[in-house]
């Protein structure tokens, strides 16, 4: 019976042999620096993002209520009018024309009632999107699902190692050349002038069905674009320095302290952030060139949005 459970947990997963790689990038955003050597052990990882259908099975089995569907606790938001604390989530809403790219509030809105079942808010639904990645999931929602299926969320290092697909040091999951302007798009990213002109990626304006775009060298889909993905690590504003010698290269590093995880651009913020990886369908070279393995952002633990999802891993024994 135990072996049956083990095999069931690995369906739809790919085994990634452990190894060493160069984590980070020096060429784009400061939080990706410095490049440093890291080692990880082997692990199983979902070949595709967790879908709406899969998440629905979880909710039906457990009667789980996501963070976006709960009324926020006023104790967690001191100084805010309790009447403003309602269940909902952040939804991307494109602008009618060009706007300065300095204030994300021009294209993001908190929509009461928005959640994984109603991605655009009241009146919307997920019909026809069973095989799209589930979105509007906060970090604890992703953790709850992972625990239900006997898995974990990947660390940042595990996720980045898997996303590189064996191309250590490459800019993108597929190599050095960006896909924009190519005959075949290699990921679901923003096509057009952000945030108002969305030409669509292979017909998609928003999330795409998992597995639509080519996999990376490890056979993993959507490791770039479509939706950002939660990891288990708290965010830090920069990577640690390179180890002084090969003997000191970190193995299976984790960031379990939230000491640096707060948004220092918002002095009143008291909600720690965890790392999200991979970029999304909203990433554009002119604004957010983050559909790359090294790219990283901090996302508040209580945050859920229309462009963040997740996939799971299982550590331990490999195939055979």
Mean pLDDT estimate for the chain: 92
CATH code of 140's domain:
3.90.1580.10
Quote the pTM value. 0.94
User: If DSSP codes are grouped into helix, strand and coil, which group holds residue 32?
Assistant: helix
Pick the closest to residue 43 from 230, 316, 310 (CA basis). 316
Mean pLDDT, residues 141-167 taken together: 98
pLDDT score for 182: 61
Can you give the residue range of the structural domain that contains 168?
1-320
List all residues 6 or more positions away from 147 whose beta carbon is below 8 Å from its beta carbon.
none
Residues above pLDDT 90, as percent of the chain: 80
Question: What is the helix (H) or strand (E) element at residue 94, kind and residue range?
Answer: none
The count of structural domains within the chain is 1
**pLDDT tens per residue, range 167-184:** 999 999 999 998 755 668
pLDDT score for 263: 79
Name the band, by pLDDT with cuts 50, 70 and 90, for residue 9: low
**pLDDT tens per residue, range 242-266:** 998 888 899 999 999 999 998 777 6
Mean pLDDT, residues 278-287 taken together: 94
Quick one: how many helices (H) and strands (E) in the chain?
4, 11
What does the alpha-carbon distance between residue 65 and residue 75 come to, in Å, rounded to a whole number?
Answer: 20
Which residue would you say has higher pLDDT here, 201 or 309?
309
* Predicted confidence (pLDDT) at residue 7 exceeds the cutoff of 60: no
Residues above pLDDT 70, as percent of the chain: 94
Question: What is the helix (H) or strand (E) element at residue 57, kind and residue range?
Answer: helix 52-62
pLDDT score for 317: 85
Mean pLDDT, residues 288-302 taken together: 96
* Predicted confidence (pLDDT) at residue 45 exceeds the cutoff of 60: yes
pLDDT score for 2: 39
List all residues 6 or more positions away from 2 whose beta carbon is below 8 Å from its beta carbon.
none
What does the alpha-carbon distance between residue 93 and residue 266 come to, in Å, rounded to a whole number?
Answer: 23
Q: Taking the alpha carbons of 139, 58, 70, 87 in that order, is the dihedral positive or negative? A: positive
User: Using alpha carbons only, how large is the chain's radius of gyration in Å?
Assistant: 19
Burial call 240-262: b when 16+ CB within 10 Å, e when fewer:
eeeeeeeeeeeeebebeeeeebb
Q: Which two tokens stand for residue 241?
A: 């320095």
pLDDT score for 277: 98
Mean pLDDT, residues 287-305 taken together: 96
**pLDDT tens per residue, range 194-221:** 999 998 877 889 999 999 999 999 999 9
């Amino acid at each position: 019976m135990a072996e049956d459970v083990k095999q069931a947990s690995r369906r739809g997963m790919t085994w990634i042999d452990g190894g060493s790689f160069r984590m980070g990038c020096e060429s784009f955003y400061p939080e990706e620096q410095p490049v440093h050597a890291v080692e990880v052990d082997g692990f199983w990882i979902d070949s595709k993002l967790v879908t709406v259908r899969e998440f629905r099975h979880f909710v039906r089995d457990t009667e789980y209520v996501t963070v976006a569907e709960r009324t926020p606790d006023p104790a967690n938001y001191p100084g805010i009018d309790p009447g403003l604390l309602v269940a909902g989530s952040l939804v991307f809403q494109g602008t009618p024309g060009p706007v300065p790219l300095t204030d994300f509030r021009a294209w993001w809105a908190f929509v009461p009632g928005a959640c994984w079942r109603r991605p655009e808010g009241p009146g919307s639904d997920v019909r026809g999107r069973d095989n799209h990645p589930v979105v509007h999931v906060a970090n604890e929602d992703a953790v709850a699902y992972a625990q239900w299926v006997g898995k974990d969320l990947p660390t940042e290092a595990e996720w980045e190692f898997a996303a590189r697909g064996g191309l250590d040091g490459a800019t993108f999951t597929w190599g050095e050349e960006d896909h924009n302007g190519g005959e075949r798009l290699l990921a679901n990213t923003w096509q057009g002038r952000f945030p108002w002109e969305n030409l669509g990626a292979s017909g998609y304006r928003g999330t795409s069905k998992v597995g639509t775009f080519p996999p990376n060298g490890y056979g993993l889909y959507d490791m770039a674009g479509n939706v950002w993905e939660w990891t288990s690590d708290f965010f830090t504003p920069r990577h640690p320095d390179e180890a002084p010698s090969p003997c000191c290269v970190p193995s299976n590093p984790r960031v379990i302290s939230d000491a640096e995880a707060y948004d220092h651009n918002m002095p009143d913020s008291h909600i720690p952030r965890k790392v999200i990886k991979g970029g999304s369908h909203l990433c554009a070279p002119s604004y957010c060139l983050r559909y790359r393995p090294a790219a990283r952002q901090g996302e508040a633990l209580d945050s859920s949005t229309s462009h963040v999802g997740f996939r799971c891993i299982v550590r331990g024994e490999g195939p055979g």
